[in-house]
Amino acid sequence: MPTTNDQRLMTRIGYGFDSHEFHSGIPLRIGGITLAQDRGLSGHSDGDVLLHAITDALLGAIAAPDIGALFPPSNPKWKGADSSVFLREALKRVRDAGYGLANLDATLILAAPKILPHAAAICGHVAELLRVQPDCVGLKAKTPEGLNLENTAVAHVVVLLERTKRARNATSKRTRR
């Protein structure tokens, strides 16, 4: 297992999963992009399954609490919140831990809309939010054939983090000595 003198792993992998049900009268947001659709994804926040799964993957890679623990649905503050807020906090925690995102691979499972016409815009926006090049963000979409998930959107995400520097808390402890 590759480590350095400070005993932190050089790379870390995180996995995130999220799912939401479609409902009428809600905007459909995937990857921070609003897609023209008559139904959107219900959720306590904006229901963005892709950003939620990315957030959990980032947090999981550094063994941090998950999205539900950090932004509990029981807190009215997060009702209707833009999911990019959650993603930015996860990314801050990753950087504070001394890591940066190497790449991300995501799979969306949903019956509609077709993602291909929107894939470049979604990948571009996600890359911008994560401050990485667009070719570091992979996105695939599958239909839920035979799974009885026609009214649901599911996102699976894997991230690879690379060590960038000493963790902020480790650095600050050394400076206090």
The pLDDT tens digits for 132-142 are: 999 999 999 99
Whether pTM > 0.75 for this model: the answer is: yes
pLDDT band at 162 (very low <50, low <70, confident <90, very high): very high
Q: Minimal CA–CA distance to 99: which of 75, 131, 124, 66?
A: 131
pLDDT band at 169 (very low <50, low <70, confident <90, very high): low
Q: Which helix (H) or strand (E) holds 108?
A: strand 99-109
**Contact 79/85 with Cβ under 8 angstroms?**
no
Res 89: pLDDT? 97
The fold for domain 11-176 equals 60s Ribosomal Protein L30; Chain: A; (3.30.1330)
The SS3 call for residue 34 is strand
The pLDDT tens digits for 112-128 are: 999 999 999 999 999 99
Alpha helices per DSSP H over the chain: 49-61, 67-70, 84-96, 119-130, 168-176
